[in-house]
Amino acid sequence: MTTLTLYHHPLSGNAHRARLFLNLLAVPHELVEVDLLAGEQKGAAFLALNPRGQVPVLVDGDHTVAESNAILAYLAARHDDGTWWPREAEAAAAIQFWLSRAAIDVANGPAAARLVTLFGAGLDHAQAKEIGHRFLAELDAALDGVQFLVAGRPTVADVAIYSYVAHAPEGGIPLTPYPNVRAWIARIEALPGFVGMQDSPLPAAA
């Protein structure tokens, strides 16, 4: 069997989603770190893998998959029996709902806020924090009385949402007001095969 290769950066939440799912599925893989600060992602070798110059990128033999949500879908199709990506219509729709939230609300909220504090991105930090708090309030409500987001068990929906939410304090968005979210984070981190994302060296919001 071909060993998969994941091109990543240890501070990238998008890359962490892919790495986390690989570990939860117990799929053998190799990690190749891309030096984002040095601009390696804009070099010719990496652009041949992903012309957008972004991590993560998954290489599986002759197949190359870019973008974290696409990688999650690819891994589920190749390595999951329906446990992590349910096939039932209602649950499958719920998975897509949370993948959309990850691509919009999480990307423009906790992820964007973290880009400002960690990498000095020229984004509106106040707006990103506002979006982040609004999403976290909705997530906290969605987790009221349930253990996981879909089907009563861990699914790819949890994987898609976890990384940037768990590290939201690094972007100046504290998790203290959201007890259901904090309990859910602890449940994700207790899963067999869980692997964490590297913490930022900067102080985080409580």
- pLDDT band at 194; cut points 50, 70, 90: very high
Domain assignment of residue 195, yes or no: no
The verdict on 104 and 181 lying in the same domain is: yes
Q: Please report the pLDDT score of residue 3 as a whole number.
A: 84
Token readout for 105 is 């609300």
- pLDDT band at 5; cut points 50, 70, 90: very high
Q: Please report the pLDDT score of residue 202 as a whole number.
A: 61
Provide the 8-state DSSP code for 171: G
71-127 confidence digits (pLDDT tens): 999 999 999 999 999 999 999 999 999 999 999 999 999 999 999 999 899 999 999
Q: How far apart (Å, rounded) are the C-alpha atoms in residues 61 and 69?
A: 19
The verdict on 179 and 96 lying in the same domain is: yes
Q: Please report the pLDDT score of residue 206 as a whole number.
A: 53
Q: How far apart (Å, rounded) are the C-alpha atoms in residues 73 and 99?
A: 10
The verdict on 9 and 46 lying in the same domain is: yes
Q: Is the pLDDT of residue 205 over 80?
A: no
Q: Which domain CATH number covers 65? A: 3.40.30.10
Domain count, the chain: 2
The verdict on 93 and 165 lying in the same domain is: yes
As a residue count, the chain comes to 206
Return the number of other C-beta atoms located less than 10 Å from residue 21's C-beta. Answer: 24
Q: Which residue has the tokens 């692997």?
A: 195
Instruction: Tell me, yes or no, if the pTM score tops 0.75.
Output: yes
Find the helix packing angle between 179-189 and 156-166, rounded to 10°: 110
Q: How far apart (Å, rounded) are the C-alpha atoms in residues 3 and 30?
A: 7
Question: Number of helices (H) and strands (E), helices first, in the chain?
Answer: 8, 4
Q: Which domain holds residue 128?
A: 89-189
17-57 confidence digits (pLDDT tens): 999 999 999 999 999 999 888 888 989 998 999 999 999 99
Long-range interactions of 194-198: CB distance < 8 A, separation 24+? 194/20, 194/23, 194/24, 195/19, 195/20, 195/23, 197/10, 197/11, 197/13, 197/16, 197/20, 197/163, 197/166, 197/167, 198/10, 198/11
Q: Which domain CATH number covers 101? A: 1.20.1050.10
